[in-house]
Amino acid sequence: MLRLKSCFVFVLLLLTGQVLASPEFVSESFIRAAAAGDTATAESFVYMQNTEAGVLTTLPIAKIVDVMVQKAQAVSASKGGLTSIKTSQVTYIEEGKRARAQIQLEFADGTRDSDSLRLVNIQGQWKVEI
């Protein structure tokens, strides 16, 4: 009975977007899309403010994400491809409005790497902040 309730709660959260909208899901999906060279999908997980340290950003978000994706794809390809992504820790800050996700990556050549992503909650949706 407990297992049935757990499955029901998971499906309910999935349907309401709570599981899919988590910092873990967004972080891993962004990295997976970038490593695969899928700029459009990677861009869908990104949020960028107009200013960076008080200076107006002049490059469009699509160009910035494209450069990030090209770099991630090159790194992934040089290591035989990305085989595993896991969020090892999420730290919430600013009363849950922002988060930092620690990501563990494994590649086909056996190497491992880690990365940290900043996320921001925009109207109930988590986005990678660049």
Quick: pLDDT tens for 29-74: 999 999 999 999 999 999 987 655 555 556 788 888 999 999 999 9
DSSP code at position 39: H
Tokens of 85: 């992504």
DSSP H helices, 17-60, are 23-36, 39-44
Domain residue ranges in the chain = 2-129
Non-local (6+) Cβ contacts of 64 within 8 A are 48, 57, 130
Distances (CA, A) of 103 to 14, 51, 54, 77, 90: 22, 26, 29, 19, 9
pLDDT of residue 50: 62
Averaged pLDDT, 113-127: 95
pTM: 0.78
CATH number of 2-129: 3.10.450.50
> What phi and psi, each to the nearest 5 degrees, are found at residue 68?
-60, -45
